[in-house]
Amino acid sequence: MKIFLNGYMGSGKSLIGKKLSESMDYPLVDMDDQIELMEGRSIHEIFQKKGELYFRKLENQVLKDILAKNDNMIVSLGGGTPCYGNNFELLKADENNKTVYLKASVEELTSRLFLEKVHRPVISHLDTKEQLEEFIRKHLFERAFYYNQSNIIVDVDGATPTAIVEKIKSKLD
């Protein structure tokens, strides 16, 4: 079984991916790490030098490579991965794939992301919490259609990583 964690940036995909991987003894694949390895540069540099369209094409190729493997694994998707091209259809094509939406509120995401926006190329230009909140609200509205099609939806606001992992595992059975 492949378990794909999706949700907006800052929802905890990387952290929960690590914890779930340890708990289930499945290897963890982080999409952003795979793209950086393939390109030999950071996501930030890819966005700066090649643009978002180039990045989305890479992302689609890495997703296809992951889906072609027959191994059990936990995959932390990029925040936009399920929302571009045919990515969500690819994820849903195999019944052994499980998609998990780590659902966080706009307020929670704003709080988390404002502290680390300098490391996030998509939001680094936003100066105030109000601008960031508006940006997140707009993106969540656009992406909710995809996120909400996930097999499992877990509300992460105020929950510990351990509790989130246990919720996911209980819904996989």
- Residue closest to 76 by CA, chosen among 36, 31, 21: 31
Cα separation of 138 and 32, whole Å? 23
Binding residues are 10-15, 32, 56, 79, 120, 143
pLDDT digits (tens, 9 = 90+) for 59-78: 999 999 999 998 999 999 99
Domain ranges of the chain: 2-165
- β-sheet with 73-76: strand ranges across: 28-30, 73-76, 2-6, 97-103, 152-155
Residues at the annotated binding site for substrate?
A: 32, 56, 79, 143
Looking at residue 18, its pLDDT comes to 97
Q: Say whether pLDDT at 119 is over 90.
A: no
Q: What pLDDT score does 22 carry?
A: 97
Mean pLDDT of 157-165: 96
Name the CATH superfamily housing domain 2-165.
P-loop containing nucleotide triphosphate hydrolases (3.40.50.300)
From start to end of the chain, where are the E strands?
A: 2-6, 28-30, 73-76, 97-103, 152-155
Binding residues for ATP: 10-15, 120
Q: Quick one: average pLDDT of 39-53?
A: 90
pLDDT computed for residue 118 by the predictor: 78
